[in-house]
Structure 1
Amino acid sequence: MAVAKGACLNHISRESLDINVFGFERVESPKFEFKVIWLKISPDFALHLIERSPDTKLPEGPYSASSSVLDPTHLPRGHHVCFSVSNFDSFVQSLKDKGIETFQRSVPNRPVRQVFFFDPDGNGLEVASRDE
C-alpha cells in the first residue's frame, strides 16, 4: 500500500437508518446530500453517523448498504475508516500507480480533499488531506 506521511486516524463512519446521538459532543458538519452527525470522541478523533439510504434493501455490509459491489463512489455514504495524511497528492498518485480504483471529492465548504478506495479485503477506506 502507499506510504502515508504524517498519517493519523481521523474518523470512523457508520451508516444507520436512525442516526441518534450517543451523548458525545456533537460538532458542526458540512451539508451533504444526506443527513450526518459528527461526534467528537476525543480531541483528535470523531465518529461520523451517516443516514442510510431508506430505499436500500441490502443488509449492512463491508461495501456499503447502497451497493453490493466494490464501488468507491458509494463509500462517502457507506462504512469506512478515515486517515489524514500530510502528503495527500503523492499518496493518491501512489494508489493510481498501483491500479487501485479511487473516488475523489472535496468536503463542502472546507479545505479538505478526500480519496475513497477499498483495501485488498474489501474494507472501505478514506484518506483525507491534512496541512503539512
Structure 2
Amino acid sequence: MAAKVVSLSHISRESSDIKRLAKFYQEIFGFEEIESPNFGEFKLPEGPWSATSPVADPKHLPRGHHICLSVSNFESFLQTLKDKGIETFERSVPGRNIKQVFFFDPDGNGLEVASVEEGS
C-alpha cells in the first residue's frame, strides 16, 4: 500500500563547513535556522553513498545524503518495502516516538521515511 499522507521532513547533505552552508541557504532561499537535535559527536563518512566503503548500504544513510519524508501509515509503508524486497535499515529516534526506515531508490538516492510523532 502506498503512503496515505506524505510530507517532506528534511534533506540531509554533508558539509565541510556547516555554518557557511547554513548561511548560504538562509541568504539565498530565506530559510530559517531551527534547533538541531543533539546526536552527539560523529565523523562524516566518505564514499558515494556516505559509507565508509563504496557500497550502497542503507545502514550508512542516517548520517549521509538522503531525503526524509514522513508518513502517517508507517507500518503499512514498511510492509510495502518488505513486500517489494527493498533492502532497509530501521531504527527509532532516541527519546522520541518516531520510527525511521532508510533505503535507496532505483537510482541509488538515499531515502528516509519516518513515522509521524504521536501527539504532534
Same fold (TM over 0.5): yes
| CA displacement at 1:67 relative to structure 2 | 3.6
- Report the aligned-residue RMSD: 2.1
Aligned AA (1:16): S
Match of 1:27 in 2: 34
Among residues 40, 52, 58, which one is paired with 2:44 in the alignment? 52
Match of 1:77 in 2: 63
Matched, 1:114 2:100: yes
- Contact (CA 8 Å) 2:98, 2:114: kept in 1 or not? yes
- State the secondary structure of the residue aligned to 1:125: strand
- State the secondary structure of the residue aligned to 2:112: strand
Matched, 1:8 2:7: yes
Cα 1:104–1:117 change in 2 (3 A) is: same
- Contact (CA 8 Å) 2:51, 2:57: kept in 1 or not? no
- State the secondary structure of the residue aligned to 2:18: coil
Cα 1:76–1:131 change in 2 (3 A) is: closer
Among residues 39, 51, 68, which one is paired with 2:54 in the alignment? 68
| CA displacement at 1:130 relative to structure 2 | 1.1
Uncovered stretches (5+) of structure 2, i.e. residues with no partner: none
Q: Which has the higher helix share?
A: 2
| CA displacement at 1:26 relative to structure 2 | 2.9
Identity of aligned residues (%): 64
Q: Could you list the structure 1 runs, at least 4 aligned residues long, displaced by more than 2 angstroms after superposition.
A: 23-31
Distance 1:89 1:95 in 2: 10
| CA displacement at 1:124 relative to structure 2 | 0.3
| CA displacement at 1:4 relative to structure 2 | 0.9
Q: Which has the higher strand share?
A: 1
Cα 1:108–1:29 change in 2 (3 A) is: farther
- Contact (CA 8 Å) 1:113, 1:128: kept in 2 or not? yes
| CA displacement at 1:33 relative to structure 2 | 4.3
Structure-2-length-normalised TM-score: 0.79
